[in-house]
Amino acid sequence: MTYPNPSRPARDPAIHLDPEIDLHDLEGEGFDLEERNALRRVSGIRTDLEDVTEVEYRQLRLERVVLMGVYPRSEGDRAAETSLLELKALAETAGCEVLEGLMQRKDMPDPKSYVGSGKAQELRDVVLSSGADTVICDGELSPGQLRALEDLVKVKVIDRTWLILDIFATHATSREGKAQVELAQLTYMLPRLRGWGESLSRQGGGAGGSGGGGVGTRGPGETKIETDRRRIRSRQAKLAREIKEMKTAREVKRQERRRNAVPSVAIAGYTNAGKSSLLNRLTGAGVLVENALFATLDPTVRRAQTPHGREFTLTDTVGFVRRLPHQLVEAFRSTLEEVAESDLILHVVDGSHPDPEGQLQAVRSVLADIDANDVPEIVVINKADAADPLVLSRIQRREKHSIAVSALTGAGLAELVALLEDEVPRPETLVRVVLPYAEGRLVARIHDEGEILAEEHLEEGTRLEARVGPQLAAELADYLVA
């Protein structure tokens, strides 16, 4: 077919315009750049696995997935691509092989099917051409959106929330961690239950022989989906009771540390920022370190000392991520309270990440949810050996109370320890005592729990000037001197 040349005048007899043809149908939306880029592939997102051992630890079947993200036009291209790349890292951590990454620029996701029926058909074409068996969406989809999108693309669809929950379920090792993850999964699943065919048939309903149940079973019966919901609610209640009991045990340990006046420092930050590596460097804790998201979930508490011998505890907490599912925040609330109850937060950020400021903001939003935003904070910019010096200086200009370190090489750790010496809360009460040599127990406690300012061995005992906590100060009241 010969298309008209718009550069020639319409009265040219060589041009034959059919009044039935709408020029929109010929050129139309195809030349609209914004529309053409509305659903586009993101280059460099494919997973290239050189060796299957790269994912051996996941112990999951490698699923072939296509990533799909819908981002508002007000969000820059870099921010959108960073979010999709993070979804890729999450998918790989869950044991998936990423085949394609697609994004659509739209102010709001389609309320019915997340991407709209037209774009869903384009997504279906990509799924068919790539041979994918799963679509992962970069957002939390409603039950209706999940079902509608699955009907359109004809493969399994999961969202970002379920993907993160799946990773947590794989990595949880302790009894408390497993219970917290299961509770979060059940909370997510409950409104998304659905039944097909026979699963919705009545159980033991009706009277007489047609019911098949006999005496005591007649009545309207209960659908399979209702039974599942009831079981889930019962399991949720049981898990909530178990987690509450574990929370009590955690609070007892925390109160014991408070009674001994041991300051608490919590290590918080974005997942894979190097929190466990930093804990190992500072305390030799031997915590699992792996280049994967959410490699460690269970909090680890270790004792540490400042150069002048002051003791404090370091707590490694679960990593955070953008749009951390609220089900997880609620389920892990008892664990995250370790951060809220601490005296100081070491906020670890990955200096080599494309968007470290975004990491800081994401973590602080979660800290606000658990009422920990008033705890004093030191921003620790980790992986300084791999970071751009311009990025480091930019973060340090914005974050006045910050320090750049490398847990891998050890650079900056001495300065961090010196900063901890100044920032870890000091005992409040100043005491001057002379303790008889028979009270060596109290001398040891002052060394362990307090800050020694002066010490002298006299004929009648040990003279000490120190700062101690209020409880120890009360026990020393009988030995005070001027």
CA-to-CA dists, residue 329 to 4, 73, 79, 180, 275, angstroms: 61, 29, 24, 10, 19
Choose among 219, 331, 208, 310: nearest CA to 265.
Answer: 310
pLDDT over threshold 50, residue 49: no
- Position 349 scores a pLDDT of 94
More confident residue, 458 or 341: 458
CATH code for residues 33-167: 3.40.50.11060
Which helix (H) or strand (E) covers residue 137, if one does? Answer: strand 134-137
pLDDT over threshold 60, residue 294: yes
256: confidence class by pLDDT, cuts 50, 70, 90: low
- Amino acid at residue number 143: P
pLDDT digit string (tens) for 54-111? Answer: 433 333 446 889 999 999 988 878 888 888 988 998 898 888 889 999 998 888 899 9
H-helix segments, 27-107: 33-36, 77-93
Question: Residue 459 corresponds to which tokens in the numbers above?
Answer: 């004929």
Domains 33-167 and 260-423 are alike in CATH topology: yes
Over residues 126-146, the mean pLDDT reads 92
pLDDT over threshold 60, residue 21: no
- Position 304 scores a pLDDT of 82
- Position 384 scores a pLDDT of 93
- Position 9 scores a pLDDT of 42
More confident residue, 260 or 169: 169
18: confidence class by pLDDT, cuts 50, 70, 90: very low
Domain boundaries defined on the chain: 33-167, 260-423, 429-479
Lowest mean pLDDT among 27-31, 134-138, 384-388: 27-31
d(C-alpha 70, C-alpha 93), whole Å:
22
- Position 111 scores a pLDDT of 92
- Position 345 scores a pLDDT of 92
pLDDT over threshold 90, residue 149: yes
Contact between 427 and 467 under an 8 Å Cβ cutoff? The reply is yes
**Mean confidence (pLDDT) of the chain:** 78
Class of the CATH domain delimited by 260-423: alpha beta
Over residues 458-480, the mean pLDDT reads 87
- Position 289 scores a pLDDT of 53
Contact between 346 and 264 under an 8 Å Cβ cutoff? The reply is no
3: confidence class by pLDDT, cuts 50, 70, 90: very low
pLDDT over threshold 70, residue 411: yes
More confident residue, 299 or 468: 468
Which strands form 63-71's sheet, in the order they lie side by side?
Answer: 39-41, 96-105, 63-71, 134-137, 156-159
Which helix (H) or strand (E) covers residue 136, if one does? Answer: strand 134-137
pLDDT over threshold 80, residue 160: yes
pTM score, whole prediction:
0.69
51: confidence class by pLDDT, cuts 50, 70, 90: very low
306: confidence class by pLDDT, cuts 50, 70, 90: confident
d(C-alpha 304, C-alpha 85), whole Å:
37
pLDDT over threshold 90, residue 24: no
6: confidence class by pLDDT, cuts 50, 70, 90: very low
Highest mean pLDDT among 225-229, 250-254, 281-285: 225-229
- Position 222 scores a pLDDT of 59
Query: φ, ψ for residue 435 (rounded to 5)?
Result: -105, 130
Question: How are beta strands 429-435 and 462-468 bridged, if at all?
Answer: antiparallel
